[in-house]
């Protein structure tokens, strides 16, 4: 039986035929040699260090052929994706029972987060487990998300070609319900309440009350509770501009791709860098309301910044952008962001006609590689 504090789980993963027929050896960090068989299993420490399963990039799931990117739905209607609020399935089990959960903060859904999902999918049905309500509990100032909540399903669907033809599902736990748990209690919750089969985490992952547990302890505790643990190397930020960001890099970072770096790149208006960190163009979504409406002309659309559903880049002009009106109408445009409005300008002369005929309430803007 799942305890309180678990919410919003969409349970639509597809079956994947997990048949692996290989055995190989490779070396990591010049200290340990790891042997992976089918499927990869947690390993004993070799030198008093961390017991890890490091899964190489060429480790593949031999399931049904993945969909091509062109088959991934664009999902223009933010409310078309119905979420289920079931903590318990009809047979009384946890909604993530038997799954592999990736642990982390998945604000940006960047390429590092994608790698966690990839490794989870190679061992079983993949889930992204994250905590909600953390800012409120810890007294942090609220801030706009990097990814609009209604756009997350689209992004996760785009990971299907990487994830054994499965869509990673999100599973949220109220932070207030786990904040007090020490590392052992947290792993016990995963095992006994959520009944997950295994976990995936980055090598720098910390967990438990006051972040007392590290990757070494996670592997040890998972072994005690009969779960698989996969610790993967961080995806490093190789961009030559990363050292020149106009802010102090979080001391917890060691050069890996992170949501902090995405926010910093947006803050300086470097959309090319943002795309490299995300593995996709940044998509900005605006929603009209009864109080805040879009202003349309034949060649221009303007929207108050209060309509923004996620984080915009800094004020300035952005060229080579795309305005996605629906699945058949993608218009090339330039975007001007100022202190009060987002202005979209295009050579296409039928914007007002489309808005009037379709009563569009959303604007979807994808940024090119231009910088302010």
pLDDT tens-digit readout, 325-372:
876 778 999 999 999 999 999 998 888 888 877 778 999 999 998 766
Of 240, 229, 171, 168, nearest to 197 (Cα)?
229
95 domain-assigned = no
Note whether 117 and 194 are same-domain residues.
yes
Within 8 A by CB and 6+ apart from 120, the residues are 100, 101, 102, 126, 127, 163, 168, 198, 200, 230
Residue 223 in 3-state DSSP? helix
343 domain-assigned = yes
Q: Which stretches of the chain score pLDDT less than 70?
A: 1-93, 240-254, 327, 371-372
Provide the pLDDT for residue 359.
79
91 domain-assigned = no
Note whether 228 and 351 are same-domain residues.
no
Provide the pLDDT for residue 49.
31
Q: How far, rounded to the nearest angstrom, does the alpha carbon of residue 79 sit from its chain's CA centroid?
A: 19
CATH code, 167 = 3.40.50.620
Provide the pLDDT for residue 325.
80
**Contact 161/117 with Cβ under 8 angstroms?**
no
Note whether 289 and 351 are same-domain residues.
yes
Helix and strand numbers, DSSP H then E, in the chain: 9, 15
**Contact 147/107 with Cβ under 8 angstroms?**
yes
Note whether 194 and 119 are same-domain residues.
yes
List of long-range contacts for 81-84, beta carbons under 8 Å, 24+ apart: 81/10, 81/150, 81/153, 83/8, 83/10, 84/8, 84/9, 84/10, 84/11
End-of-domain residue from the set 232, 267, 297: 232
288 domain-assigned = yes
The whole-angstrom separation of Cα 246 and Cα 263 is 11
Note whether 189 and 106 are same-domain residues.
yes
Structural domain total, the chain: 2
Provide the pLDDT for residue 176.
86
Residue 351: give the domain boundaries.
Answer: 281-367
Note whether 207 and 114 are same-domain residues.
yes
């Amino acid at each position: 039986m799942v305890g309180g504090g678990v919410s919003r789980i969409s349970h639509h993963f597809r079956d994947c035929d997990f048949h692996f027929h290989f055995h190989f050896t490779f070396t990591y960090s010049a200290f340990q040699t790891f042997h992976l068989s089918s499927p990869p299993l947690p390993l004993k420490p070799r030198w008093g260090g961390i017991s890890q399963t490091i899964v190489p990039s060429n480790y593949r799931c031999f399931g049904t052929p993945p969909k091509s990117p062109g088959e991934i739905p664009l999902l223009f209607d933010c409310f078309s994706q119905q979420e289920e609020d079931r903590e318990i399935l009809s047979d009384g089990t946890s909604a993530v029972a038997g799954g592999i959960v990736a642990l982390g903060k998945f604000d940006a859904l960047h390429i590092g987060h994608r790698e966690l999902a990839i490794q989870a999918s190679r061992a079983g049905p993949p889930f992204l487990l994250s905590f909600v309500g953390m800012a409120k509990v810890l007294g942090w100032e609220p801030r706009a998300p990097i990814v609009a909540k209604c756009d997350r399903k689209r992004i996760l669907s785009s990971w299907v070609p990487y994830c054994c033809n499965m869509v990673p599902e999100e599973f949220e736990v109220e932070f207030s319900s786990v904040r007090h748990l020490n590392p052992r209690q947290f792993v016990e919750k995963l095992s006994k309440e959520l009944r997950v089969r295994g976990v995936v985490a980055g090598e720098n992952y910390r967990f438990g009350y006051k972040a007392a547990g590290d990757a070494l302890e996670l592997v040890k505790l998972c072994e005690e509770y009969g779960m698989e643990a996969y610790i993967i190397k961080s995806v490093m930020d190789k961009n030559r501009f990363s050292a020149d960001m106009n802010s102090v890099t979080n001391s917890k970072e060691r050069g890996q791709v992170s949501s902090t770096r995405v926010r910093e790149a947006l803050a300086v208006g470097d959309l090319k860098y943002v795309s490299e960190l995300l593995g996709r163009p940044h998509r900005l979504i605006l929603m009209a309301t009864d109080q805040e409406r879009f202003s349309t002309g034949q060649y221009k659309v303007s929207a108050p910044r209060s309509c923004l559903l996620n984080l915009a880049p800094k004020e300035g002009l952005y060229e080579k952008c795309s305005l996605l009106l629906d699945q058949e109408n993608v218009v090339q445009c330039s975007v001007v962001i100022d202190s009060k409005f987002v202005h979209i300008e295009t050579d296409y002369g039928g914007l007002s006609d489309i808005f009037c005929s379709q009563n569009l309430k959303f604007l979807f803007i994808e940024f090119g590689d231009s910088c302010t």
